[in-house]
A and B are shown apart, each in its own frame.
Chain A
């Protein structure tokens, strides 16, 4: 890489730093704003820094605004979605890539074709189905559609292709049952792929917006983003400080996860993009 001269490198560092700082500015305003009181917002809404770091917004959020309940709902939805996606995508991906049976090759093209259907075409019929099942305004209804995503199956199917047939065949000759081969041979090899599936499905269910907005109709079933969206639409009665504190709380789990598991996020996007 001797073609790159020092001045050009310096220029790139400067450009990258400027671009990245601008991209991250909203998070700076978020952090500082969440510690400002309503009086400060009224006096000088444009000030970057709070006069002093007041945690009043966070206290009010959980003590008076019921945000704890929304967070618990979000955590329940996401944990169940992650478990569902990990288990069911491993099963489906393994079946599609490694088991030989009639009809197997028909399943996947159908799924791929369905992936182009815009979500706004699906949420109304989904709502009708949930009404028929008597599940409106339940966490079950929020979870079911994201319990196992085509993308998760796609990632596990790609991974399963890389597992050699000989390994499974050897177990078969040794008399292992088909489920036994899956649980004792295939699953223990799948750690990294399952981590990617787990993270992407956590992100999808935590950030899910339109479906919970339609199906959660009382505060008992609001997830954290829905609670935040409802509060922000009543913004004449809710202060910016409170909303920013709530936004901070909604973001924090994702940011922490990203900080520690960055490589799986990036891998996931690269895989997902190459579908």
Chain B
């Protein structure tokens, strides 16, 4: 849509300049100077993009079809093409399979919890209160910008066996668990940290969505006697649908890629219970199994791609 409207402007301007008769015309409406400047201005961005994103993406797919190991990094052309061997190995590897399950568990728990918390905060901030809005908003957003390594250090201290969390639980008579030692509790801790770090993002996006709902609609409903719950269910949530979809997709992609939380908090343990797909990929690189690592990352890419395609289908405006 944006592109189409720019084209209209371009055509209109090219037309007006044709009347003035200045400079040579080119098919796309710009002058030669514009074309030269345009490409020159794009050089720094395109150079970094090609060398550190586009080419690596192709290399990742390429390496997944070879027998590349850490020894080949200095001479990457000396590898042998082995077709889909690495994919067969990866997909039949039980540690990889359980990392897929773990990743789906993280997505299944973190996405709804983070969105529910973000939406609740946004609703209370937007319609519930009059004062201190920006203070609450900023406070709930601080965990998002927090450095993940620093956050992990705090969590390791806070959730250690005799740390402040368990001490506080003990003071109300609850026997705190071994947060990092028990598989179930380790997953819980990683999920809590994931929600803590992303709810603020959901809140900001929901706030932006809520602000686009006209006040009059809600007031009209209130005048007609609709209760607060009824207004939420029948008016606010349906009108928020595009935002909700957007946040769902953003969060799903974010948690499909979850790496830092399990890497820093639990190293994927205990017993591999918190090893995500991204962490498995990183570990394989550390073991020198470059081709397996890349095959695993291509599987992750496919999963993310499916989510992205579903997003574009659902977000496409209906005519």
Per-position binary interface string of chain A over residues 89-128, scored 1 when its CB falls under 8 Å from any chain B CB and 0 otherwise:
1011011110111111101001100101111111111111
Which of A129, A145, A228, A266 has its CB near the most chain B CB atoms (within 10 A)?
A: A266
Chain A residues closer than 8 Å to B88, beta-carbon distance: none
Given contacts A209-B260, A270-B205, contact A121 B124 (CB under 8 A): no
Binding-face segment, B107-115, B158-166, B233-241? B158-166
Chain B residues closer than 8 Å to A226, beta-carbon distance: 149
Check A62 for interface membership: any CB of B closer than 8 A. no
Check A232 for interface membership: any CB of B closer than 8 A. yes
Interface pair B150/A251, CB less than 8 Å apart: yes
Chain B residues closer than 8 Å to A23, beta-carbon distance: 139-140, 142-143, 196, 199
Given contacts A26-B155, A229-B264, contact A120 B49 (CB under 8 A): no
Task: With CB as the reference atom, state the residue of chain A lying closest to B124.
Answer: A12
Chain A residues closer than 8 Å to B130, beta-carbon distance: 1, 9
Our pick among A46, A100, A148, A265 for the contact of B145 (Cβ within 8 Å) is A265
Binding-face segment, A13-21, A50-58, A189-197? A13-21
Interface pair A116/B149, CB less than 8 Å apart: no
Check A182 for interface membership: any CB of B closer than 8 A. yes
Task: With CB as the reference atom, state the residue of chain A lying closest to B33.
Answer: A178
Our pick among A4, A254, A269 for the contact of B128 (Cβ within 8 Å) is A4
Interface of B is mostly: helix
Chain A residues closer than 8 Å to B128, beta-carbon distance: 4, 8-9, 12
Per-position binary interface string of chain A over residues 221-236, scored 1 when its CB falls under 8 Å from any chain B CB and 0 otherwise:
0000110110010010
Chain A residues closer than 8 Å to B298, beta-carbon distance: 121
Interface pair A258/B163, CB less than 8 Å apart: no
Which of B39, B125, B155, B256 has its CB near the most chain A CB atoms (within 10 A)?
A: B39
Given contacts A120-B259, A232-B153, contact A209 B148 (CB under 8 A): yes
Interface pair B153/A120, CB less than 8 Å apart: no
Check A247 for interface membership: any CB of B closer than 8 A. yes
Per-position binary interface string of chain B over residues 230-258, scored 1 when its CB falls under 8 Å from any chain A CB and 0 otherwise:
00000000000000001100100100110
Check B191 for interface membership: any CB of A closer than 8 A. no
Interface of A is mostly: helix
Interface pair A118/B300, CB less than 8 Å apart: yes
How distant is the Cα of A129 from the Cα of B55 in the complex, in angstroms? Answer: 9
Chain B residues closer than 8 Å to A270, beta-carbon distance: 204-205, 208
Our pick among A117, A248, A255, A266 for the contact of B137 (Cβ within 8 Å) is A266
Task: With CB as the reference atom, state the residue of chain A lying closest to B257.
Answer: A118
Interface pair B57/A121, CB less than 8 Å apart: yes
Chain A residues closer than 8 Å to B140, beta-carbon distance: 19-20, 23
Interface pair A100/B10, CB less than 8 Å apart: yes
Interface pair A117/B301, CB less than 8 Å apart: yes
Check A76 for interface membership: any CB of B closer than 8 A. no
Chain B: minimal CB distance from A141 (Å): 10
Check A139 for interface membership: any CB of B closer than 8 A. no
How distant is the Cα of A178 from the Cα of B222 in the complex, in angstroms? Answer: 56
How distant is the Cα of A248 from the Cα of B153 in the complex, in angstroms? Answer: 10
Chain A residues closer than 8 Å to B264, beta-carbon distance: 229, 232
Interface pair A120/B281, CB less than 8 Å apart: yes
Check A63 for interface membership: any CB of B closer than 8 A. no
Chain A residues closer than 8 Å to B205, beta-carbon distance: 269-270, 273
Which of A121, A207, A229 has its CB near the most chain B CB atoms (within 10 A)?
A: A121
Chain B residues closer than 8 Å to A111, beta-carbon distance: 49
Interface pair A153/B45, CB less than 8 Å apart: yes
Check A246 for interface membership: any CB of B closer than 8 A. yes
Interface pair B28/A225, CB less than 8 Å apart: no
Chain B: minimal CB distance from A139 (Å): 16
How distant is the Cα of A177 from the Cα of B163 in the complex, in angstroms? Answer: 65
Check A39 for interface membership: any CB of B closer than 8 A. no
Chain A: minimal CB distance from B314 (Å): 15
Given contacts A101-B38, A209-B260, A258-B142, contact A165 B9 (CB under 8 A): yes
How distant is the Cα of A128 from the Cα of B294 in the complex, in angstroms? Answer: 13
Chain A residues closer than 8 Å to B151, beta-carbon distance: 26, 247
Interface pair A225/B60, CB less than 8 Å apart: no
Which of A3, A110, A210 has its CB near the most chain B CB atoms (within 10 A)?
A: A3
Per-position binary interface string of chain B over residues 202-234, scored 1 when its CB falls under 8 Å from any chain A CB and 0 otherwise:
001100100000000011001000001000000
A-B contact pairs, 5 of them (CB 8 A): A19-B140, A29-B154, A48-B164, A88-B45, A118-B278
The 9 lowest CB-CB distance pairs between A and B, nearest first, are A46-B167, A100-B30, A125-B56, A121-B297, A101-B35, A247-B150, A125-B59, A12-B128, A178-B37
Q: A46-B166, A124-B60, A247-B151 are in contact. List 15 more A-B contacts (CB 8 A).
A: A1-B130, A12-B128, A15-B124, A16-B121, A88-B44, A92-B41, A94-B41, A95-B39, A114-B54, A116-B305, A120-B259, A128-B76, A129-B59, A247-B153, A274-B208
